[in-house]
Structure 1
């Protein structure tokens, strides 16, 4: 199963957990050309092997772990690897990547991908090396938190192994349980619950195989150029290393895109007590970062005498301003606890914030109050173990609203809670949230907030002009970047460093704003050009040149963006096959102006979606056309296109009916798992 392309190991592994067996798994070079790796190949695998309508917590779901050509090759920020499955939170496609330790070690063991099928009968962990694949009993690990688990496995197999582990949240099938690798998280969409449903506590990998690099000297040259670019850029070489992602919190607050008290407002009166400067002054021990990362945006704090990962912007947003809490140290402690429990910090914070507003409005009986920190740590553990109120919150904001009401202010898209950016002051970001295949993910949304509010040049945030085209460009670019195996932060250099010197409200800023908004039509045409008509590379988007140099593939900027477009449409078709077709946001964001005196401060989806669909080559329902799919080489998807006579409400209605049916089946599964886990004493 060799490959002609550099950067790939040429081998993949399929494990049948029911039988405890494994076999080689074929990935064609054609699929490598079309989808590159990581989420691209992961989505192709689950498309090929999952039947629509399956239970995400059932044995039929797959947990697919994929690497990418750049993973482990020394390229900047290239420790990224991906997990794909059908999400137990949304019922749709889910991909989640991190810069943890497992992906590089999986490649060094000789594998590009690992597919986990079926379900073990008892808790297990899986060891993968270049010499063996072995399934171990994990009874002594079940019940441990993620930190304890990784410590035991490091002692048992060596400190240099790569690990993926779940905590109590994954064991108890919390719908937004994450997977932890080192100190990095595959955070979104409940991938940890899928791992727990298969009775897998952990995976470890190690090896010394070399990743094929056909032209190492030329590759070193282009890598050095890329690293130099990132270090010289004001964002990736200045702000992010100095303050991490929290460095943008002050600006987010000023521009009213900082969610406050469950997205009721966009600014928080005590932001200066929880922002990046506050963390540096009060709690920061040092900077760190993922393997091979020159940016070093991660923060390290000390808790109970131990240096641990500090909170990022999204976590502080959810547990700070969005909860009405000004105690940054408490957020540091909760961030550490959430990682140990194996919980997505964004969804956990959002569902607590929603529950607090439900309580405030008398729809839910609880002792939650805005800013009251005393209840949060116990509640985090209750969510992870599905105890009391925690059991309801473990279902996520969407399902909590089905039970208690408040659907208008349950802040999610497709069931996935929104990240910490208030879209009523960022039109393109709102459009991105609504159309993102994962749901309320800021990255799958295209991170338009950077162009509209938080970057060096801001395109009129409330204007809808040009936003659909910019959002599509960003979504395609981000999917291509993820698929090639590097971090989204490497895209910050797309705006040249000189842009940071432009005065925010000066003449040049206005000229750039008008130019970017007015270029929507031209950009729309460029997005639909054949890849061969963009046969060059751009210095500020070096990814295409690096991938071509490493793999030997025919690669240009056009081919790179086409790969992203292809991945985005494949994910969209996965959702459509399930019936998850609706692109919407809760009424709070689309019908209630953030500023009652300014009716423009709400997300104008009605104005943007038709343009977005047309530019993407989709029909008026948001379904890719035959022409679009054929143009991307996705002919194998044509048979899954829905009947042209079926309306979006019909398709979405059938999806909701099946989702409720699956939830009913899962109630039994979850109750049985909770009872089983409660009966098992935590190992000492």
Structure 2
């Protein structure tokens, strides 16, 4: 499979320890990514297999553009059986960051994980050299410490996809993290945990074959100048600007004169007006911290970052020194729902500290750091909507044992105290008490707690 493909499938059997190489050309008609993953699952996983059975598999699959430099092409599709839906459907997670490109650079289109290790292991991939290593010393650690330790043992260039305590404890709403805060959810963390696989580390130094480099460059330039917008492909700015006929305050094309990366190293950097056509300034368009969290985020924003070969740069990087008071790093980054969902559970909003709306900033940075380190997955905010519903409708008082209900600091929740988030996420990741079943997923709690038809109407809002 020349041009776009390495032609290789890496198959790792955790039960036997066998690591083999196969030809990926037999899957050429399935294009890549999801197509590869679903074909392999349907061919190789027997009917009736449950998510945590040894017979279940994890399929990491790239696409033909991965690693080529094509805009927005650094995604890896992770296919397995669902941990959180009725019937254990075949599902897939989509993980950004740098993992997909490193897979391709190492020489693999697909990685198939099968079987179950007798004790914790991590998979070490450096081009053609592949080995299973003991991971007992990593078990119990979060994704951040796991990544740091593996990079210390291998190389700073290594990309590590790791699970945290949530995956180890088989929490259905768990995922894996690579490049610190790029997640693949859909229960894949629990699948890795069930197989005693703590992490996959990959570093590739090979190239990617391109059939026609000039045509590739022409198409890349066309995408960058004519097609690429801001996050979610918004193509008009959020404020009136000299170059634009239209504007929309709901657009994520947030850059404008007078808007700065306020905490940038070396001093604030102005985003300015970013009209279409200039490839060198595309990365300034999307300013997700301000879009998600409001104007107060400006002075704490270091920069916008993103995935390999993606010009949209939708990953907010922030530094809020006060966050250290809660035992997590003052820096952190994320995008989309994970940026703002953590404080939505407070019925009266988060409590501010010194400045207006800084409680929302601090609460969400604490929340996303903990969430990512534990390897939890919010199911696009549904986990937090479920919490809000159950609290507002008195479900917790009905279903939680009296002792557990009494020990939870509901007064902190009402006061918008960030410490409630810390306790809540710890319970979810470590499966502490009845409350932790929130992370089993919506269908599971609806059945377990007899939520009825009213709940499903609320969940769709």
TM-score between both structures, scaled by the size of structure 2: 0.76
SS of the residue 1:211 aligns to: coil
Q: CA deviation at 1:135?
A: 0.5
Report matched runs for 1:136-175 at 5 Å: 136-175=133-172
Corresponding residue of 2:369: 336
Q: CA deviation at 1:24?
A: 2.1
Residue deviations 1:37-63 (CA, integer Å, cap 9, x gap): 111211111111112221101111101
Residue deviations 1:154-209 (CA, integer Å, cap 9, x gap): 11111111211000000000001111011344343201000110000011111211
SS of the residue 2:398 aligns to: coil
CA RMSD of aligned residues (A): 2.7
Corresponding residue of 1:38: 33
Report matched runs for 1:458-473 at 5 Å: none
Correspondence 1:189 to 2:204: no
Residue deviations 1:554-609 (CA, integer Å, cap 9, x gap): xxxxxxxxxxxxxxxxxxxxxxxxxxxxxxxx24468xxx8xxxxxxxxxxxxxxx
Q: 1:120 to 1:354 in 2, by over 3 A?
A: farther
Q: CA deviation at 1:392?
A: 2.3
Q: CA deviation at 1:16?
A: 1.1
Q: CA deviation at 1:217?
A: 1.5
Please say if residues 74 and 309 of structure 2, whose CA atoms lie closer than 8 Å, have aligned partners that are also in contact: yes
Please, which runs of 5 or more residues in structure 1 have no aligned partner? 244-271, 411-585, 595-684
Corresponding residue of 1:357: 392
Whole-Å Cα distance in 2 between the matches of residues 104 and 165 of structure 1? 17
Correspondence 1:284 to 2:307: no
Please, which runs of 5 or more residues in structure 2 have no aligned partner? 238-250, 256-288, 351-358
Q: CA deviation at 1:106?
A: 1.2
Please say if residues 229 and 312 of structure 2, whose CA atoms lie closer than 8 Å, have aligned partners that are also in contact: no
Correspondence 1:62 to 2:79: no
Correspondence 1:235 to 2:209: no
Correspondence 1:385 to 2:397: no
Whole-Å Cα distance in 2 between the matches of residues 102 and 157 of structure 1? 15
Q: 1:201 to 1:237 in 2, by over 3 A?
A: farther
Residue 25 (structure 1) aligned to one of 9, 22, 26 = 22
Whole-Å Cα distance in 1 between the matches of residues 296 and 72 of structure 2? 24
Residue 209 (structure 1) aligned to one of 206, 210, 235 = 206
Aligned pair count? Answer: 383
Q: 1:276 to 1:185 in 2, by over 3 A?
A: same
Q: 1:52 to 1:184 in 2, by over 3 A?
A: farther
TM-score between both structures, scaled by the size of structure 1: 0.52
Whole-Å Cα distance in 2 between the matches of residues 341 and 85 of structure 1? 21
**Higher-helix-fraction structure:** 1
**Higher-strand-fraction structure:** 2
Deviates more, 1:336-345 or 1:364-373: 364-373
Corresponding residue of 1:516: none
Corresponding residue of 2:319: 302
Q: 1:46 to 1:323 in 2, by over 3 A?
A: farther
Correspondence 1:71 to 2:66: yes
Please say if residues 254 and 291 of structure 2, whose CA atoms lie closer than 8 Å, have aligned partners that are also in contact: no
Residue 80 (structure 1) aligned to one of 51, 66, 75 = 75
Q: 1:77 to 1:92 in 2, by over 3 A?
A: same
Please say if residues 298 and 309 of structure 1, whose CA atoms lie closer than 8 Å, have aligned partners that are also in contact: no
